[in-house]
Structure 1
Amino acid sequence: MDAKKLYKSRNNKMLCGVCGGVGEYINLDPTIVRLLWTIFAFTGWGVIAYIIAAVIIPEQ
């Protein structure tokens, strides 16, 4: 069984591909992931979490 891995998306990206990669990983439309992340960003932590994810998550 091949393990599923989280990568930044090459094809489905707007900034760094984080939301596209998360959407592909959990089988959810990346637009929904982007909307949820935007709502989360208004708390202040979303922006920090996105930057950390963009640095930590490897390229596809």
Structure 2
Amino acid sequence: MSGFDMEKARNVLRVPGGFAVEIEIAVGRKGDGAHLPPGLLKREHPSGRSPVDDFVVHGFLPE
């Protein structure tokens, strides 16, 4: 993701010394875009990413 500031994350999250901020993730659901201003709405388009169900396991794996 663009705009990720590791030093700001370290400060805001109060990450103690000896630990490193390595990644960021987005958590949530995709909205319909109705709340976005026209300039941002125009930039919305489907990504070429794999569907979550292709790499997430639901429940327990059989033995």
Same structural fold, with TM-score higher than 0.5 when normalized by the shorter chain = no
Greater relative contact order, per chain length (Cα 8 Å cut-off, separation 6+): 1
Larger Rg: 2
TM-score of the aligned structures, taking structure 2 as reference length: 0.22
